[in-house]
Amino acid sequence: MRALRRFTVRASLPEPLTPLGMLATNLRWTWHPPTQDLFASVDPDVWERVGGDPLRLLAEVSAERLEKLARDENFLSRTRAVADDLRRYLTAPRWYQRRQDELAHRPSAGSRLPASIAYFSMEFGVTEALPNYSGGLGVLAGDHLKAASDLGVPLVGVGLLYRSGYFRQSLSADGWQVEHYPVIDPSGLPLELLTEPSGAPILVHVAMPAGRVLRARIWKAQVGRIPLLLLDSDVPENDEDLRGVTDRLYGGDQDHRIRQEILAGVGGVRAVRTYCELTGHPQPEVFHTNEGHAGFLGLERIRELVTTDGLDFDEALAAVRAGTVFTTHTPVPAGIDRFPVDLVQHYFGHGELLPGIPVQRVLALGAEDNPGLFNMANMGLRLAQRANGVSKLHGRVSREMFRGLWPGFDTDEVPIGSVTNGVHGPTWAAREISKLIGEPDVDGPVGLRGMEPVSDALLWELRCGLRARLVEEVRRRVRAAWRQRGASDLELGWTDSVFDPDVLTIGFARRVPTYKRLTLMLRNPDRLRALLLDPKRPIQVVVAGKSHPADDGGKALIQQIVRFADDPEVRARIAFLPDYDMQLARYLYWGCDVWLNNPLRPLEACGTSGMKAALNGGLNLSIRDGWWDEFFDGGNGWAIPTADGVSDANRRDDLEAAALYDLIATQVAPLFYDRGEDGVPARWMAMVRHTLATLGPGVQAGRMVREYVDSYYAPAAASAEAVRADGYQGAKQLAEFRARVRAAWPRVRVVDSDLSAGGASPPLLGAPVTVRAQVDLAGLDPSDVDVQAVVGKVAESGELHDVVTTSMAEDGHGGYAVELPLPHAGSLGYTVRVLPQHGLLATPAELGKVVLAG
Ligand SMILES: *Cc1c(COP(=O)(O)O)cnc(C)c1O
């Protein structure tokens, strides 16, 4: 019999054990070993069976056992100690509060930390016990919340709760990916429903076309100090099709997707408002849009200001932009979310969804080169005064990719910065590692304590232990996967000895879009086979990853790997493990000696799995893309040479695969197997040590969140305050300024300019020169513009580069002049340009307006 419906009954705990309830529902347990140990000791067998999930443990452990523990003084005092520790963690001032104090004593610093920040994301990977993510983006969002919690940053997370999350993966007999969608039961998850005093769920309303309404209830997960609000449309009040809006993550068509994004953005803002009113939590001053998907949040905030504060659209836009931060994660143009304009028109055109907001203004925000498409990334950038990519290289790629939105500016002036992603150490570092070398001090300046006293032998022993644990897990999973594919136990004896705890272990796990090149290692199967079966220095390779359900190309790549690994000749040395998720990921990051990454440069925005491996002493073997481009230092791993510029994709793959095989054969494996008398590979351990010491601090999510606070949240809060003061005077002035500039700009011109050098001819490096210009401001006030002299080297093409820009002084009659030293020797050139200037702009390029001489 199949159940019609699943529901979970929460165990009622004997009174002395009530603190266990709080410890189980606050997800801090996911990164706090003492809490995990406490739960494990409730019933080690059940703990094992439920995969280390405290709520399921409490639901399944026997009443007798609980009664016994309620009388066990030793257990009770441990429980009290852990609960007290959590209470302290939740209330004591942390880094953010100290920072606030510092700034309060230094008001001249000009920035003030926001009382609250809302962080919107379509997926959150906090723990496998709350399967609400598909991969890197979600796990990053989860790590962002956890690090914010550790630092005391007052963030509120906002997203959707999916009935089936992302799919679970298994394999058919012939190696084809099969998807399953287990249905979750929110009442059995670490979630709390936001309710009216009557106990009825609070519902967020979002208007749909034809007079319909999409309703969603709000679940709250507590991630340490951070509330995470998740909207869920599966309520009886909704029409059947609308109940399904939050059924699956990345599972439907465009129409399904836009409904999800409308709910996350528009409904998400309404959910935060409700939550803050209900709990007294401060309303957010800054809104962080994690990738374009959640971008509709800016439209709802514009509507709020238009409806309740009486601002017009442009004033509201100026106010919203000031407090919005947008992070882009996609260097692949095809990866950007785009909707047909008609679809956006369908949802926003009927006037009920966002009353008072003209749909033409909405459409203009998402406009792109193709007039039929609405571009969520463009909207994200137009709705945010501050934007960033997720590694230095990705920042550069993004400036190039989006430069069309700032015509006339050099790529490096495009106002998109970067904050390199990080990973949450306590979540991803093996306990043994944290214990041995000390956790990085997430609450203070980062840095690993006490690496020196740890001997190579001890560290090696620890690494071998982690590898052995991975090998056990590989055996277990290989056996389970074969059973699933229809094999009988009788033919699976060989799985007991797949992989070898003493062999150099290389890991490769990630989603399977083409650019990640899952099958690059198969480019020359004979070479791979030779490396796996090398009699003296063998390697073993563990592979995992999911393909998007609609991507048959990706599934075919997985099948190629599976078929290769099925070959009895090599199957003891290479395995594809189905169902890559956070749990499997941890075994891989802990146990792999080498973490392989071979994307097509520069299409990996950042990549974070290599960071997690590094935290455990794994060495990266990677194309210099994303984070590795800035963190590789020659001693912490290997850079696979890239055939940049080779346009034939096949040839490029051949070249890069050959380089990969060579690196493994001539450097990686020899180093790993070069043992001293004591069996320890000293030179290998030197690299491990160097990796732990130098990468450990830099790859932490704590470092990332501190950067967001200092470089994005604090300035955004200051801007938001500046536009809000005195009844939104700043927003009104800024909107009026934009309108004035827009009207005058087509007529602004540099009428005349020249550069004169006194003294030696040709002038000498550093000699003073004077640049003069006559500018027609078309009625703008001189204070509305910045007229700049630009001097730099000239390329053959006449393009200026390596420029120095200097503001020119006005003489009261439209004349401008400045004296400056010549910045370079050789062939130089200059020009003059005019930019809008206003105290509330974050960067001179912000409005995308510039007039160049000539
Ligand atoms: C870290 C992580 C990812 C992201 O890895 P990339 O290197 O960015 O591809 C994906 N899935 C899981 C389960 C992870 O833990």
Q: Is 466 in the pocket of ligand 1 (CB under 6 A)?
A: no
- Say whether pLDDT at 45 is over 60: yes
Cα–Cα distance for residue pair 511/381, rounded to 1 Å: 26
CA distances 66 to 69, 80, 510, 760, 790, Å, are: 5, 16, 41, 93, 76
Task: Among 166, 608, 611, say which to mutate for ligand 1: greatest number of ligand atoms within 8 Å of CB.
Answer: 608
Q: Is 603 in the pocket of ligand 1 (CB under 6 A)?
A: no
- Per residue in 794-809, pLDDT tens? 988 888 999 999 999 9
Q: Are residues 384 and 319 in the same domain?
A: yes
The pLDDT of residue 105: 82
Q: Is 452 exposed, middle or buried (0-12, 13-18, 19+ CB in 10 A)?
A: exposed
Q: Are residues 459 and 387 in the same domain?
A: no
Closest residue by Cα to residue 738 from 818, 607, 848: 848
Q: Regarding beta strands 373-375 and 155-160, do their DSSP bridges make them parallel or antiparallel, or are they unpaired?
A: unpaired
Residue 261 domain flag = yes
Task: Write out the two tokens for 635.
Answer: 């001693």
SS3 788: strand
How many Å lie between the centroid of ligand 1 and the Cα of residue 605?
12
Atom 9, ligand 1: which residue's CA is nearest? Answer: 510
Closest residue by Cα to residue 515 from 611, 630, 410, 397: 397
Return the CATH number at 478: 3.40.50.2000
Q: Is 609 in the pocket of ligand 1 (CB under 6 A)?
A: yes
How many Å lie between the centroid of ligand 1 and the Cα of residue 593?
17
Nearest atom, ligand 1, residue 589 CA: 15
For the ranges 1-10, 27-36, 779-788, 820-829, the lowest mean pLDDT is seen at 1-10
The pLDDT of residue 333: 85
Tokens 């100690």 correspond to: 81
Nearest atom, ligand 1, residue 428 CA: 15
SS3 477: helix
Residue 853 near residue 773, CB atoms below 8 Å: yes
Q: Are residues 376 and 483 in the same domain?
A: no
Nearest atom, ligand 1, residue 584 CA: 13
How many Å lie between the centroid of ligand 1 and the Cα of residue 364?
35
How many Å lie between the centroid of ligand 1 and the Cα of residue 143?
11
Number of Cα atoms under 13 Å in the Cβ half of residue 773: 29
Cα–Cα distance for residue pair 730/261, rounded to 1 Å: 30
Residues 6 or more apart in contact with residue 289 via CB below 8 angstroms: 120, 295, 297, 298, 324, 325, 326, 327, 380, 383, 384
Mean pLDDT to the nearest integer, 400-405: 96
Closest residue by Cα to residue 611 from 425, 356, 802: 425
Q: Are residues 277 and 412 in the same domain?
A: yes
SS3 257: helix
Residue 114 near residue 713, CB atoms below 8 Å: yes
Mean pLDDT to the nearest integer, 416-435: 95
How many Å lie between the centroid of ligand 1 and the Cα of residue 609?
5
Helix axes 682-698, 456-484, angle to 10 degrees: 80
How many Å lie between the centroid of ligand 1 and the Cα of residue 614?
13
Cα–Cα distance for residue pair 360/365, rounded to 1 Å: 9
Cα–Cα distance for residue pair 704/707, rounded to 1 Å: 5
Closest residue by Cα to residue 589 from 439, 470, 730: 470
Task: Write out the two tokens for 477.
Answer: 């999973």
How many Å lie between the centroid of ligand 1 and the Cα of residue 681?
29
Phi first, then psi: what are they for 672, rounded to 5°? -65, -35
Q: Is 513 in the pocket of ligand 1 (CB under 6 A)?
A: no
Tokens 């690496």 correspond to: 451
Which residue, 91, 106, 121, sits at the end of a domain? 91
Return the CATH number at 806: 2.60.40
The pLDDT of residue 446: 40
- Per residue in 222-263, pLDDT tens? 999 999 999 999 999 999 999 999 999 988 899 999 999 999
Cα–Cα distance for residue pair 586/621, rounded to 1 Å: 18
DSSP string, 115-164: S-EEEE-S---S-TTS----SHHHHHHHHHHHHHHHHT--EEEEEE--SS
The pLDDT of residue 181: 94
Residues 6 or more apart in contact with residue 520 via CB below 8 angstroms: 598, 653, 656, 657, 660
Q: Is 329 in the pocket of ligand 1 (CB under 6 A)?
A: no
Helix axes 136-151, 701-708, angle to 10 degrees: 80
Cα–Cα distance for residue pair 399/828, rounded to 1 Å: 26
Residues 6 or more apart in contact with residue 514 via CB below 8 angstroms: 553, 554, 600
Atom 12, ligand 1: which residue's CA is nearest? Answer: 135
The pLDDT of residue 156: 98
For the ranges 150-159, 315-324, 470-479, 810-819, the lowest mean pLDDT is seen at 810-819
Residue 847 domain flag = yes
Residue 235 domain flag = yes
The pLDDT of residue 6: 55
> Which bin fits 623, alpha (ψ -120 to 50), beta or left (φ > 0)?
beta
How many Å lie between the centroid of ligand 1 and the Cα of residue 675?
32
Residue 739 domain flag = no
Q: Are residues 453 and 591 in the same domain?
A: yes
Q: Is 134 in the pocket of ligand 1 (CB under 6 A)?
A: no
Largest CA distance in the chain: 98
Q: Is 142 in the pocket of ligand 1 (CB under 6 A)?
A: no
Q: How many structural domains compose the chain?
A: 4
- Per residue in 515-569, pLDDT tens? 899 999 999 999 999 999 999 999 999 999 999 999 999 999 999 999 999 999 9
Mean pLDDT (the chain) is 94
Cα–Cα distance for residue pair 411/609, rounded to 1 Å: 30
Q: Are residues 136 and 181 in the same domain?
A: yes
Q: Are residues 117 and 223 in the same domain?
A: yes
- Say whether pLDDT at 9 is over 90: no
Q: Are residues 64 and 110 in the same domain?
A: no
Residue 791 domain flag = yes
Tokens 């006559």 correspond to: 774
Task: Among 30, 609, 628, say which to mutate for ligand 1: greatest number of ligand atoms within 8 Å of CB.
Answer: 609
Residues 6 or more apart in contact with residue 740 via CB below 8 angstroms: 780, 784
Q: Is 608 in the pocket of ligand 1 (CB under 6 A)?
A: yes
Residue 449 near residue 437, CB atoms below 8 Å: yes
Q: Is 582 in the pocket of ligand 1 (CB under 6 A)?
A: yes
Task: Among 169, 510, 596, say which to mutate for ligand 1: greatest number of ligand atoms within 8 Å of CB.
Answer: 510
What own/partner pairs with CB < 8 Å and gap ≥ 24 does 359-368 have? 361/313, 362/299, 365/299, 366/339, 368/338
Residue 720 domain flag = no
Cα–Cα distance for residue pair 141/127, rounded to 1 Å: 11
Q: Are residues 103 and 43 in the same domain?
A: no
Q: Is 139 in the pocket of ligand 1 (CB under 6 A)?
A: yes
**Where are the strands (E) in 539-650, listed by range?**
539-544, 574-576, 594-597, 619-623, 637-640
Tokens 């590694």 correspond to: 391
Cα–Cα distance for residue pair 501/470, rounded to 1 Å: 8
Atom 15, ligand 1: which residue's CA is nearest? Answer: 582
- Which band of pLDDT confidence, cut at 50, 70 and 90, is reported for residue 110? low
Three-state SS string over 619-686 comes to EEEEECCHHHHHHCCCCCEEEECCCCCCCCHHHHHHHHHHHHHHHHHHHHHHHHCCCCCCCCCHHHHH
The pLDDT of residue 623: 96
How many Å lie between the centroid of ligand 1 and the Cα of residue 617?
17
Radius of gyration of the chain from Cα atoms? 29
The pLDDT of residue 111: 65
- Say whether pLDDT at 702 is over 60: yes
Mean pLDDT to the nearest integer, 447-466: 81
N- to C-terminal Cα distance for the chain? Answer: 80
Q: Tell me 184's DSSP state.
A: P
Q: Are residues 83 and 110 in the same domain?
A: no
Residue 734 domain flag = no
Residues 6 or more apart in contact with residue 762 via CB below 8 angstroms: none
How many Å lie between the centroid of ligand 1 and the Cα of residue 140?
8
Q: Is 585 in the pocket of ligand 1 (CB under 6 A)?
A: yes
Cα–Cα distance for residue pair 311/727, rounded to 1 Å: 10
Which residue, 33, 56, 91, sits at the end of a domain? 91
Q: Is 788 in the pocket of ligand 1 (CB under 6 A)?
A: no
What is the CB neighbour count within 10 angstroms for residue 497?
10
How many Å lie between the centroid of ligand 1 and the Cα of residue 425?
14
Cα–Cα distance for residue pair 441/703, rounded to 1 Å: 11
Which residue, 668, 696, 724, sits at the end of a domain? 696
Cα–Cα distance for residue pair 652/550, rounded to 1 Å: 27
- Say whether pLDDT at 2 is over 70: no
Q: Is 449 exposed, middle or buried (0-12, 13-18, 19+ CB in 10 A)?
A: exposed
- Say whether pLDDT at 451 is over 80: no
Closest residue by Cα to residue 611 from 143, 132, 149: 143
Q: Is 136 in the pocket of ligand 1 (CB under 6 A)?
A: yes
The pLDDT of residue 813: 83
**Where are the strands (E) in 728-827, listed by range?**
749-757, 768-776, 785-794, 800-807, 809-810, 815-821
Q: Are residues 358 and 400 in the same domain?
A: yes
- Say whether pLDDT at 7 is over 60: no
Q: Are residues 77 and 118 in the same domain?
A: no
Atom 8, ligand 1: which residue's CA is nearest? Answer: 607
- Per residue in 642-691, pLDDT tens? 998 888 999 999 999 999 999 999 999 999 999 999 999 999 999 999 99
- Say whether pLDDT at 445 is over 50: no
Atom 4, ligand 1: which residue's CA is nearest? Answer: 136
Q: Which residues, in sequence order, are bridge partners of residue 118? A: 156, 287
- Say whether pLDDT at 346 is over 90: yes
Residue 425 domain flag = no
How many Å lie between the centroid of ligand 1 and the Cα of residue 510?
6
Q: Provide the percentage of residues in the chain whose pLDDT is more than 70.
A: 96
How many Å lie between the centroid of ligand 1 and the Cα of residue 166?
14
Residue 378 near residue 405, CB atoms below 8 Å: yes
Tokens 């679809």 correspond to: 343
Domain that holds residue 764: 745-852
- Per residue in 358-386, pLDDT tens? 999 999 999 999 999 999 999 999 999 99
How many Å lie between the centroid of ligand 1 and the Cα of residue 785?
46
